[in-house]
């Protein structure tokens, strides 16, 4: 695909357009060198692959897969692999850009990347998903590796997916290469604390925000979680452990609400048995739209992109909005939330616990020396708290919202690295 066609494809997606506009706002506010800004608007490399898979009925079905590397200035690429029907090149590129900014914000020696296959994993058998994963890994194997680009789990993928990816890559290399992916099972080099890390990080930033706002987190603090998957469940469990009251949660099919509070472990058992939230006995049903507009102290959107828009932002009734998902809030919604006095913890800050512990896993794998779970949590808390304070300082200095402040802080670090490395050729 030539550059003109690639640019047209990228700009066709709302998520990429939204990311560019947010980048432009930050670049303008900090007066970033326009040559640096121009280089960050497009990915370094975008690979599109056909992924033929033998299905259970013996037919061959061809899926479309992607791996995008946005920037490798700070180190090898880092980013998840998503299996979802809505995966596109434009979406993947936007998420790769966010990963670049996220890694830079947290001072990680990693660049930004993202991958995905357009499919519906919920309609595939285990064997079909394994076949898909192994073929996809083989197709992108020339641009991934522990010193090139390190995939991780995302929507529709998990530690088993990463185990298949690691094994496929290792078979092609000829020996075991645990560092090619993170988010692996413990038995093949995974890290303690990785499974809950993203949700845990969301909770840590909420704790920092509450301290800044002189807000007490206790049994009277109400929390709502949209998207009760890996991130949402982990965040809810941590907030419940702190002592807050979870009053509503939802998945893609709808949600449940009880103003007196929900039993997190009972919900987990219900989901394990029933596979969805419907019919949970101690709550009333709500739609995902209604859930976002319920009154609460803390709202955690942990589902998919573009859930909070200019149409519903004015109806939100929370004090803190902590973005567990990537890009759950559109650019047009930000000023509305700011005017309402809602304190937004942006995605590249709130949900960076996952990539941070992925970095820990990568480091442990390279050293062949593994930490206990307490050390992982302590290191995660320290880096999340330090980064929150850094963004808060920029927020006060530039008098911008927290999203723009996070982007400015990220770009300050990244632009210095780009300028000191110089331009080749």
pLDDT-derived band of residue 8, with 50, 70 and 90 as boundaries? Answer: low
* CA separation for the pair 78, 74 (Å, rounded): 11
CA separation for the pair 62, 343 (Å, rounded): 45
Look at residue 96 and tell me whether its pLDDT is greater than 70: yes
Residues 59 and 158 grouped into a single domain:
yes
Quickly list DSSP for 193-213. T-TTHHHHHHHHHHHHHHHHT
Within a domain: residue 355? no
221, 88: one domain? no
- pLDDT, average across residues 336-365: 94
- pLDDT exceeds 80 at position 77: yes
Q: Are residues 171 and 219 in the same domain?
A: no
d(CA 263, CA 56): 39
Q: How many domains does the chain have?
A: 2
Residue 39 belongs to domain with CATH number = 3.40.50.10860
Among 316, 350, 384, where does a domain finish? 350
Catalytic residue among 102, 114, 129, 230: 114
How far is residue 363's CA from residue 104's CA, in Å, rounded to a whole number? Answer: 17
- Dist. CA 60–CA 63, nearest whole Å: 10
Kindly report, residue by residue over 50-75, the tens digit of the pLDDT.
999 999 999 999 999 999 999 999 99
Tell me the torsion sign for CA atoms 184, 186, 188, 190. positive
Does residue 176 sit in helix, strand or coil? coil
Kindly report whether the global pTM for this prediction surpasses the value 0.85.
yes
Q: Centre a 10 Å sphere on the Cβ of residue 272 and count the other Cβ atoms it contains.
A: 8
In a domain, 392, yes or no: no
What is the domain-level CATH number for residue 220?
3.40.50.720
CA 37 to chain centre: 23
pLDDT per residue as tens digits for the range 386-406: 999 999 999 999 999 999 999
* pLDDT tens-digit series, residues 31-42: 999 999 999 999
Same domain, 25 and 171: yes
Range of the domain at 274: 197-350
Query: Would you state the pLDDT for residue 304?
Result: 80
Q: Is 30 part of any domain? A: yes
Domain match, 126 and 46 both:
yes
Judge whether 114 counts as a catalytic residue: yes
Bridge-based pairing of strands 254-257 and 284-286 is antiparallel
pLDDT of residue 275: 79
Let me know: does 226 contact 247? Beta carbons within 8 Å: no
Averaged pLDDT, 203-227: 95
Shared-domain flag, residues 262 and 346: yes
Extract the tokens encoding 380. Answer: 């995660």
The answer to whether 253 and 221 are in contact (CB under 8 A) is no
Nearest to 30 by CA among 336, 395, 330, 418: 395
- pLDDT value, residue 11: 65
Residue where a domain stops, chosen among 178, 207, 222: 178
Report the candidate in 136, 144, 145, 134 with the shortest Cα–Cα distance to residue 168: 134
Quote the CA–CA distance of 395 and 409 in Å, as a whole number: 9
Are residue 139 and residue 214 in the same domain, yes or no?
no
pLDDT number for residue 7: 63
Report which of 156, 115, 126 is spatially closest to residue 53, judged by C-alpha positions: 126
Neighbours of 60 (CB within 10 A): 8
Q: 90 with 233, same domain?
A: no
Least confident span in 129-143, 216-230, 264-278: 264-278
Residue 120 lies in a domain: yes
Same domain, 93 and 216: no
69 part of a folded domain = yes
Report yes or no on 118 lying in a domain. Answer: yes
Claim to verify: residue 157 and residue 253 sit in the same structural domain:
no
Q: Is residue 293 part of a domain?
A: yes
Q: What are residue 285's DSSP bridge partners?
A: 256
Q: How many CB atoms are closer than 10 A to CB 124?
A: 19
Instruction: Judge whether residue 218 has pLDDT over 70.
Output: yes
Q: Is the pLDDT of residue 1 over 70?
A: no
Q: Say yes or no: 128 and 240 in one domain.
A: no
DSSP annotation of 372: -
Q: Are residues 11 and 141 in the same domain?
A: yes
- Position 205 confidence tier, pLDDT thresholds 50, 70, 90: very high
Tens digit of each residue's pLDDT (9 = 90 or more) over 242-294: 999 999 999 888 899 999 999 988 998 888 888 788 888 888 999 988 999 99
Average pLDDT, the chain: 93
Residue 326 forms part of a structural domain: yes
Segment 403-416, tens digit of pLDDT: 999 999 999 999 99
DSSP state of 313: G
Q: Of 310, 326, 350, which residue constitutes the final position of a domain? A: 350
């Amino acid at each position: 695909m030539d550059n003109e066609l690639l640019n047209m494809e990228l700009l066709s997606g709302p998520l990429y357009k939204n990311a560019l506009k947010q980048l432009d706002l930050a670049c303008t506010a900090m007066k970033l060198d326009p040559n640096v800004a121009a280089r960050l608007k497009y990915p370094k490399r975008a690979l599109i692959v056909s992924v033929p898979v033998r299905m259970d009925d013996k037919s061959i079905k061809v899926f479309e897969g992607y791996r995008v590397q946005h920037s490798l200035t700070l180190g090898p690429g880092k980013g998840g692999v998503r299996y979802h029907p809505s995966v596109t090149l434009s979406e993947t590129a936007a998420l790769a850009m966010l990963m670049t900014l996220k890694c830079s914000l947290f001072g990680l020696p990693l660049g930004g990347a993202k991958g995905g296959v357009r499919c519906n994993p919920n309609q595939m058998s285990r064997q079909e998903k394994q076949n898909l994963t192994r073929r996809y890994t083989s197709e992108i194997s020339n641009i991934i590796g522990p010193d090139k680009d390190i995939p991780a789990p995302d929507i529709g993928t998990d530690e088993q997916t990463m185990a298949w990816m690691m094994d496929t890559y290792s078979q092609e290399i000829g020996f075991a290469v645990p560092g090619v992916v993170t988010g692996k099972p413990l038995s093949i080099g995974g890290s303690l604390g990785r499974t809950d890390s993203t949700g845990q990080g969301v909770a840590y930033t909420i704790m920092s925000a509450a301290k800044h706002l002189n807000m007490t987190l206790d049994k009277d603090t109400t929390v709502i979680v949209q998207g009760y998957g890996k991130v949402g469940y982990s965040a809810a469990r941590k907030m419940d452990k702190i002592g807050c009251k979870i009053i509503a949660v939802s998945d893609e099919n709808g949600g449940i609400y009880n103003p007196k509070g929900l039993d997190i472990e009972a919900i987990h058992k219900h989901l394990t048995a029933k596979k969805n939230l419907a019919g949970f006995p101690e709550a009333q049903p709500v739609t995902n739209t209604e859930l976002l507009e319920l009154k609460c102290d803390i709202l955690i959107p942990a589902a998919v992109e573009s859930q909070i828009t200019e149409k519903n932002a004015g109806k939100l009734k929370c004090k803190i909005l902590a973005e567990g998902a990537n890009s759950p809030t559109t650019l047009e919604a930000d000023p509305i939330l700011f005017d309402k006095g809602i304190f937004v913890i942006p995605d590249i800050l709130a949900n960076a616990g996952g990539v941070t512990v992925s970095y820990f896993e990568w480091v442990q794998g390279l050293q062949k020396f593994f930490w206990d779970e307490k050390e992982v949590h302590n290191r995660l808390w320290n880096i999340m708290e330090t980064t929150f304070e850094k963004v808060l300082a920029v927020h006060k200095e530039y008098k911008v919202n927290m999203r723009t402040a996070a982007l400015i802080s990220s770009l300050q670090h990244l632009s210095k690295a780009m300028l000191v490395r110089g331009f080749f050729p």
